[in-house]
């Protein structure tokens, strides 16, 4: 998504491709599971299967980190866990604030995987004064007034936005002004941020729409073969002969 940097064309050998970075957490998870089962080594084939990618891709990904494998043998699990953790910056402690403690914010706060790997919820922040002081996931919710102080005092550089769409940009601006340089946005809005600030977004609605696109394709291809399952009814019912959509305008300009 929005990568703030000036995007220099891989100045030295230091540049790990973005696509690779996005897969490192996947490898790390698979490796951690192996580590817990005390498996000493894995082949690229096995690890790739566990991470849900193909082995050529995995080997190429690892080649950007260095030559951490042993030919004819595979990779040392513990060593790889360490190298990937370090590369991802998980040997540091990252305090995180969550802003917007509604249903979703509370769910995120309660999410276990949060604390496990280098991330620590420094504070939960909400604009509703009646939320302030209430315990959520073992923390007391703070009021938005305290946002700047919390970020400063805890050296927070990562913020999670789980507010309604309308409040997101404003919250984002305050986070950035207070020193946050990475934002994970759950609100269904495009955030604008200055250069040097990274934003990643998680959007249920977008994901569903992408799935719907592919579903529709499948339904089309199905028509070539047998109509196996009852296809989802076209809006407004199967029978209707005329324009069925109450939602989608039938406007046709030009």
In whole angstroms, what is the distance from residue 113 CA to residue 2 CA? 25
Which residue shows structure tokens 């790997």?
117
Check: CB of residue 57 under 8 Å from CB of residue 48.
yes
Out of 21, 39, 56, 149, the residue judged to bind a second copy by CB under 8 A: 21
150 carries a ligand binding annotation: no
In whole angstroms, what is the distance from residue 37 CA to residue 45 CA? 18
| Residue 239 contact among DNA, a second copy, none, beta carbon within 5 to 8 Å by kind | none
Please give the distance of CA 12 from its chain centroid, rounded to a whole number.
28
Q: Does 18 bind DNA (CB under 7 A)?
A: yes
Tokens standing for 147? Answer: 């946002």
Q: Does 204 bind a second copy (CB under 8 A)?
A: yes
Restricted to residues 139-158, the positions that interact with DNA (CB under 7 A) are none
In whole angstroms, what is the distance from residue 165 CA to residue 89 CA? 30
Q: Does 19 bind DNA (CB under 7 A)?
A: yes
Out of 8, 37, 218, 242, the residue judged to bind a second copy by CB under 8 A: 218
Restricted to residues 202-221, the positions that interact with DNA (CB under 7 A) are none
Please give the distance of CA 24 from its chain centroid, rounded to a whole number.
13
R_g of the chain computed on alpha carbons: 23
We find the least distance from the C-beta atom of residue 143 to a second copy, in angstroms, to be 22
| Residue 250 contact among DNA, a second copy, none, beta carbon within 5 to 8 Å by kind | a second copy
Restricted to residues 183-202, the positions that interact with a second copy (CB under 8 A) are 183-184, 188, 190-192, 196, 198, 200, 202
Q: Does 103 bind a second copy (CB under 8 A)?
A: yes
Q: Does 83 bind DNA (CB under 7 A)?
A: no
Restricted to residues 27-56, the positions that interact with a second copy (CB under 8 A) are 28-30, 35, 50-52
Tokens standing for 142? Answer: 């703070």
Burial per residue of 89-113, b for 16 or more beta-carbon CB atoms within 10 angstroms, e otherwise: ebeeebbbbbbbbeebbbebbeeee
- Binding-site positions for NAD(+) read 100-105
Interacting residues toward DNA by CB under 7 A: 7, 9-10, 17-20, 42-45, 54-57, 59-60, 62-63, 67-75, 254
């Amino acid at each position: 998504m929005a990568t703030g940097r000036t995007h220099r064309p891989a100045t030295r050998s230091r540049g790990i491709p973005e696509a690779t970075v996005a897969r490192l957490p996947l490898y790390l998870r698979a490796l951690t599971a192996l580590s817990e089962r005390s498996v000493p080594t894995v082949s690229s084939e096995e690890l790739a299967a566990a991470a849900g990618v193909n082995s050529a891709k995995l080997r190429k990904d690892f080649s950007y980190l260095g030559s951490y494998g042993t030919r004819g043998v595979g990779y040392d699990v513990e060593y790889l866990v360490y190298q990937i953790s370090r590369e991802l910056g998980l040997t540091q402690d990252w305090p995180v604030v969550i802003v917007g403690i509604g249903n979703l914010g509370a769910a995120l706060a309660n999410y276990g995987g949060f604390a496990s790997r280098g991330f620590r919820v420094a504070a939960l922040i909400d604009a509703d004064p009646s939320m302030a002081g209430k315990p959520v996931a073992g923390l007391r919710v703070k009021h938005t007034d305290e946002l700047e102080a919390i970020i400063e005092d805890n050296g927070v550089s990562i913020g999670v936005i789980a507010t309604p769409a309308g409040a997101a940009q404003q919250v984002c601006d305050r986070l950035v002004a207070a020193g946050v340089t990475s934002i994970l946005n759950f609100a269904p809005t495009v955030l604008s941020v200055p250069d040097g600030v990274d934003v990643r977004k998680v959007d249920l609605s977008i994901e569903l729409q992408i799935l719907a696109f592919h579903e529709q394709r499948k339904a089309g291809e199905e028509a070539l073969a047998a109509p196996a399952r009852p296809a989802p009814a076209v809006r407004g019912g199967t029978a209707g002969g005329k324009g069925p959509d109450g939602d989608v305008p039938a406007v046709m300009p030009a």
